[in-house]
Amino acid sequence: MLVQFNTKKVNIINLDGSKGNEIELPEFFSYPIRKDLIRRAFLSSLTKSIQPKGRDPMAGKRTTAESFGINLGLARVPRIHGSGEAALAPNTVGGRLAFPPTTEKIIAERINKKEMRRAIISALSATAIAEVVKSRGHRISNDAVLPIIVSNEILKINKTKDVEDFLEKIGLGNELERLHENIKIRAGKGKMRGRKYKVPRGPLFIIHESSSLIKAARNIPGVDVVLASEVSVIHLAPGGNPGRLTLYDEDSLKILKNRFSGELQ
């Protein structure tokens, strides 16, 4: 999907929700949306976080079982003396696996650095198009102006309630309701493994430096805060789908512009 972003200037939103000075947007917001590239970069980042899995070389082999031999009317699988229980061989109770996982298996999907950088730029560009953001399920008003650029005063917030109040002031109250309404209990054994709830992805704050906002926002389900120097496709396009509702502070645009200036020439 190749969509061009045409608006060159937007107003900065102050902490009280009012509109401030106009700011000229960086060039990367006019980059075409490459869903194929974003998907590839997401899978590469995701697979790099997966821990290699392997079996103990002696798993299923710590037994005295051996075959009884032929001409007994029994299968020639190894059996434990005395009980006659089959063991050691694959497809037997307590036996070894035929083809167990190995740590040598290549899990991570490789991607070129230039592809990764362009995928991040494309994901950033997608945050500026209302149709793409709405297609992810975010609830924004029809007259919303994207991308949302907020004042650097946002970094002074140190309470979760203040973050919620700010989001409501800028017209994202429905988005907060969506986050609380759509928390679901996971089906299956994942409930017992530390991931009982499925939480939808909500707004993403991109800031230029670490601040108290990080702790203040983490208690809101689905809301994330990330530094502009560390933002990646994992943050901008959860599940490989671009268009996450994103809020930038004023100075974060300068960092992103310097970070990707060479890619846009």
Q: Where are the domains positioned within the chain?
A: 9-26+112-264
Rounded Cα gap, residues 260 and 265, in angstroms = 9
| Interacting residues of 110 by C-beta distance below 8 A, sequence separation 6+ | 44
pLDDT at 3 over 60: no
- Rounded Cα gap, residues 4 and 122, in angstroms: 11
Predicted pLDDT of residue 264:
65
Query: Which pLDDT band, with edges at 50, 70 and 90, does 261 fall under?
Result: confident
Identify the band that residue 94 occupies on the pLDDT scale cut at 50, 70 and 90: confident
Task: Over range 15-36, report the average pLDDT.
Answer: 92
Instruction: Give me the percent of the chain exceeding a pLDDT of 70.
Output: 97
Q: Please tell me the predicted confidence (pLDDT) of residue 16.
A: 92
pLDDT above 60 for 46: yes
Are the C-beta atoms of residues 41 and 119 closer than 8 Å to each other? Answer: yes
How does DSSP assign 2-19, residue by residue? -------EEEEEPTTS-E
Q: Is the pLDDT of residue 2 over 50?
A: no
Q: Do 42 and 241 touch, CB atoms closer than 8 A?
A: no
Section 65-83 average pLDDT: 90
Class of 9-26+112-264 per CATH?
Answer: alpha beta
* Position 188 pLDDT exceeds 50: yes
pTM as predicted: 0.85
User: Average model confidence (pLDDT) for the chain?
Assistant: 92
pLDDT at 4 over 50: no
End-to-end CA distance of the chain: 22
Residue (of 169, 253, 237, 160) closest to 204 by Cα position: 237
Classify 257 as helix, strand or coil: helix
Lowest mean per-residue pLDDT among 2-6, 68-72, 82-86, 158-162: 2-6
